[in-house]
Structure 1
Amino acid sequence: MIRTVIVEDDPMVAKINTRYLEKMDGFELVAAVPTVADALPIIERDQVDLILLDIYMPGEDGWSLLSKIRWLGQGVDVIIISAANDKESIKKAIRFGAVDYLIKPFEFERFQTALNSYKQEQSFIEKQEELSQNDVDNLLLNKEQPQSAVGTSSVELPKGLTKNTLKLIWEKILENKTEVFSTEEMAQQVGISRVSMRKYLFFLADIHIIETEVVYGAVGRPIFKHRMANLDHNLMEKYISG
C-alpha cells in the first residue's frame, strides 16, 4: 500500500481529496492535516510514501514543507495540488522534485490519472534491480510534448477522445464565447454522456482553452462551471485537424 498524507487547509477540499483517495486501489490514507506544523511530525514518525500537498496555507506554506523534506533526506514523493498556476510555481515544483502538479479545481479523472501513473511507476521500479537507458527514458521522458515544441502539425489526442467530438464541443464553446456553462449543459448540447463530457472539458482545461471553477451549493455535490479562457484557434486546429 502507498501510505499517503493529505496536507490541505480547506476542509471542503481536504474532504474531497480524501474521498477521491478512498476510491483508489493501492493507497492508504495516513492522515489529512491542515498545516505544515501538523504534517512534519507525521512524516518524521511514520512511514509515508506520498504527500498530496497544497501550497498556500496558514503559517508555513507548502514550499517550506517540500524544502524540509528534501533537507531531511526523507524518501517521500509529493504531488502538488494547488490553485497556483503561474509559471514560477510550476518551475519551482519541478526543481523541488514534485512528481505531478494538479491545478485546482480538477475532476476525479485527473486525480486518478496522477495517482495511477505514480503507482505504476513505483511498481515498475520496485521490480527492477537495474534499469536500462530505455527504462529510464520511458520513466522520465515519456511525457506529453509541450505545445510550443509541437509545431503546426496535427497532435494526437489522449486515449478515449475523438477529434470529431472535440470539434463539436469547440464549436459549441465558440457559439457562446462569454457564457458560463456546466458539464451537464454542454453534454446535452453535444449529445454525449456527462461522464464523457467531463473528459473532454478536463482536456480543454489542461491545455488552457477553458477555465473551470467549483460552485458549492447548499446541498448535493459541487457543480463544475466552465468558461472560455483562450481563443486559440491555432492550438485547437492541431487537435481537431486531420
Structure 2
Amino acid sequence: MINVLVVEDDPMVAQLHEHYLSQIKGFQLCDIANNGDAALKLLSKKIYDLLILDIFMPTMDGLQLLAKIRENAYDLDVIIVSAANDKDKIKQALRLGAVDYIIKPFEFERFNLALNNYLKRYHIVEEQSIIEQADLDQTIIRREEQLVVSLPKGLDKNTLATVWQCICGIEGMFTTEEVAGKVGISRVSIRKYLEFLKSLRLLKLDLHRGSVGRPVYKYLCLDKQSDVLRAYIQ
C-alpha cells in the first residue's frame, strides 16, 4: 500500500484528492496538510511514500517545500497538482525530482493515469534487486499505450461496457432508474457507473423540471463516439 500525504490549501481540492484516492487501488491517504510548514512537521514525524503537492500556497509555496524536502533527504516521491502552467515552474519542479505534473483543472482520468503509472514504477523499483532495461522503459518512457489505468473500486469492466452500450442506445436525457431497469442492477450500483462516466466528461447531469411532481436529475450523453473507455474495458 502506498502511503500518501496531500499538501493542498484549497479544502475543495483536498477533498477531491481524498475522493479520487479512495477510488484507486493500492493507495492510502494518510494525512492532509494545508501549508508547507504543516507538511514539514508531518514529514519529520511520519514516513510517506508519495506526496501530492500544490504549488500556489501562502508563506511557503510548493516549490520551496519541495526544495526543503530534497535538502532534508526525505525519502518520498512527489507528484505536482497545480494551476501553475508556466514553463519555469514546471522545469523547476521536474529538476527537483517531481515524478509527474498535473495541471489544474484536472479530471479523474489523468489523475488515475498518473497514480497507476507511479504504482507500476514503484513496484518495479522496490521489489526487484536487479532491474532490466525493458522494465525501466515501461515506466520512464512516457507512452500513452504503456500507462496502466484501472477502474475505481467497486466497478467492473464488463458491467461498465454493458452500461455504456445501454446509454448509447438511449436518445436524449435519461435517469438513473431508467438505466438500472435496462441493465438489471440496482440504482445505487448504476449511479456509481454514471458518476464515473461523468468524471470522464462522457455524461453531464442536469436538473430536469417536469410538468408534474418533483424535479429530477437526468443525465445526457455528450459523446457516444468517444474511445476514452477503451483503456478501461479492454
TM-score (norm 2): 0.61
Contact 2:116 2:148 in 1 (8 A): no
Q: Are positions 1:79 and 2:79 aligned together?
A: yes
Return the offset for 1:12: 0.9
Q: Are positions 1:114 and 2:114 aligned together?
A: yes
Partner of 1:41: 41
Distance 1:127 1:48 in 2: 17
Partner of 1:61: 61
Distance 1:20 1:75 in 2: 24
Return the offset for 1:200: 7.3
Return the offset for 1:95: 0.6
Distance 2:200 2:47 in 1: 34
Aligned-pair Cα RMSD in Å: 2.7
Partner of 1:10: 10
Partner of 1:32: 32
Letter aligned with residue 110 of structure 1: R
Contact 2:124 2:131 in 1 (8 A): no
Partner of 1:94: 94
Distance 2:27 2:201 in 1: 27
Secondary structure of the corresponding residue to residue 131 of structure 2: coil
Distance 1:29 1:8 in 2: 13
Return the offset for 1:9: 0.5
Deviations 1:27-81 (A, max 9, x none): 1111111100000011121111111100010110001111011111111100001
Return the offset for 1:142: 3.9
Structure 1 residues 138 and 106, CA gap change in structure 2 (3 angstroms) = same
The answer for unaligned runs of 5 or more in structure 1 is: 145-155, 161-187, 202-242
Deviations 1:172-223 (A, max 9, x none): xxxxxxxxxxxxxxxx7xxxx996686478xxxxxxxxxxxxxxxxxxxxxx
Larger radius of gyration: 2
Distance 1:78 1:26 in 2: 16
Matches for 1:160-179 after TM superposition, within 5 Å: none
Letter aligned with residue 37 of structure 1: D
| Residue-pair matches, total | 160
Distance 2:198 2:127 in 1: 37
Return the offset for 1:136: 2.6
Partner of 2:128: 128
Return the offset for 1:135: 2.6
Letter aligned with residue 139 of structure 1: T
Distance 1:27 1:199 in 2: 21
Distance 2:148 2:137 in 1: 21
Letter aligned with residue 44 of structure 1: S
Return the offset for 1:159: 9.8
Distance 2:123 2:148 in 1: 22
Distance 2:195 2:26 in 1: 27
Structure 1 residues 3 and 101, CA gap change in structure 2 (3 angstroms) = same
Moved beyond 3 Å, runs of 4+: 193-201
Letter aligned with residue 25 of structure 2: D
Structure 1 residues 159 and 68, CA gap change in structure 2 (3 angstroms) = closer
Return the offset for 1:139: 2.6
TM-score (norm 1): 0.59
Partner of 2:168: none
Structure 1 residues 89 and 139, CA gap change in structure 2 (3 angstroms) = same
